[in-house]
Structure 1
Amino acid sequence: METENQTKVSEFLLMGLSDNPELQPLFFGLFLSMDLITVLGNLFIILAVSSDPHLHTPMYFFLSNLSFVDICFITTTVPKMLVNIQTQSKGISYIGCLTQVYFFIIFAGLDNFLLTVMAYDRFVAICHPLQYTVVMNPRFCGLLVLICWVIIFWVSLLHILLMKRLKFCIGTEIPHFFCELAQMIKVACSDALINNIILYVATTLLAVFPLIGILFSYSQIISSLIRMTSAAGKYKAFSTCGSHLSVVSLFYGTGLGVYLSSTLTHSSQRSSIASVMYTVVTPMLNPFIYSLRNKDVKGALGKLLCRAISSP
């Protein structure tokens, strides 16, 4: 009977952020607003970059890719949560859960990789300005993004194939508002040692090495800025890095907060609330950081809005 319960599972139960029914309308309105702000904000960034020829540079090419990934990132988790709140249901199908895990890994990983590539772009622009146009040519930029997609595609696929060998009991509850890989491994009814090993190895490699790349790039940038004699040159160089540094700090800061909350506390609800910062708040704030701190993006957005208003 136990074997039957493990092999015939077709649905999981997402426990969400709270069981309090009075909070559900508040959560629905809050997350719907955040979802719409994220999608519209990042969409405006993409449209601004694509419509303004002055922004057809490697830095803004990577920024538009980051905005696209952020739209996909939040769309992977929040819509299902909103549907469950609206229908007063906690269910998600087995296939739907695997799909959510697959795409969540892809877009979280791409966020990480693109921030690293953007740091390298700033490193070349500031430390090797005479070689910038040669090194960061359109073909190389496209190749960097393609490599990011290929690596994370295979990593995500490996996790899904390993998850398919796990058995889950009927009525399995996931103490989260979406199907998160680590939580899925925890609630499995079969041995998940291999899954845990691959999870820790992949997380270490995909988080530590990009972070080392970002830190190395900015150590070289800071060293180059110190050697600059022109105050105007220092300000211009720093202004191009300010937005990226803010996004990197937000991304890794919230990611570290999720990790610490899950390891230092045994409360799944606190861990889920911490995950909101990483999965929802960060993608929502990225377009504001880039638009408010960047004159070129603000100018392009202004032209885009004027064009939209003046068109019949």
Structure 2
Amino acid sequence: MDQTAALYIVPTPIGNYADITSRAIEVLNQVSLIACEDTRHSGKLLSHFGISTRKTAIHDHNERDRAQWIVEQLATGQSVALISDAGTPLISDPGYHLVKHVREAGYKVVPLPGACAAITALSASGLPSDRFSFEGFLPAKEKGRLDKLSALQQDPRTLIFYESPHRIVQSLESIVKALGEDRQIVMAREVTKTFETFLSGTAAEVLAMVMADDNQQKGEIVLMCHGFIQQQDEDAVPKVAIETLTLLAAELPLKKAAAIAAQIHGLKKNALYKLGLELDL
């Protein structure tokens, strides 16, 4: 490992300890300090792998204050690893202010690849993955949820949310209201764990499944919604048909030109005639 002092961003398993990488174990053993979201929670993982590196707590309530202290440790030549309770740090977890502060202080920030619940769930969802938007947790209050979802209603990307088990029913109800009961969604629960499940269907169908089974209201949850699909306007005239109409109208009466263009392209002649009038052909 590079001995130059650096902050390492180290993903940890989201459920199955076997998912940790050999590089992550190496880094956690070799750094001088591990900054944990919760030292007691992470202590179990570190103990499992025989890692005895000194730990310190970095969480939402102290991150800004502790960032300068971490920089001071780097200044003495000590490398630091940042881990969260599970998955990749900073993804709906603390760390943004720390990373920003360390970079501004001129020290290296070295990211390691690894587990991330959002990406893991998306890969098995069957939803489009070429474009997606990770939106974190939905607001706790209904108005906030509906406002957030309404703002995303026409987003064409697959939408990914994290959700807590005690709020999953309310969030699904909000999705039905804001995105529509027919929106295709996938709910991934306890990904990589013993009771991993994927539910898929329309928003209304998944809501019904969750309400009918209390077990689906437990554990860590990733909600994924198909992006908005723009309905094609049946009256829209293809560009090639407009070009044909324009050429014909230069030599023929508009009514005749519209009829021929409609026959060529399989369109309604009245729609082409109306368009010709609007274009003053």
Whether TM exceeds 0.5 here: the answer is no
TM-score, length-normalised on structure 1?
0.24
More helix by share: 1
Which structure has the highest strand share of the two?
Answer: 2
The TM-score, its normalising length taken from structure 2, stands at 0.25
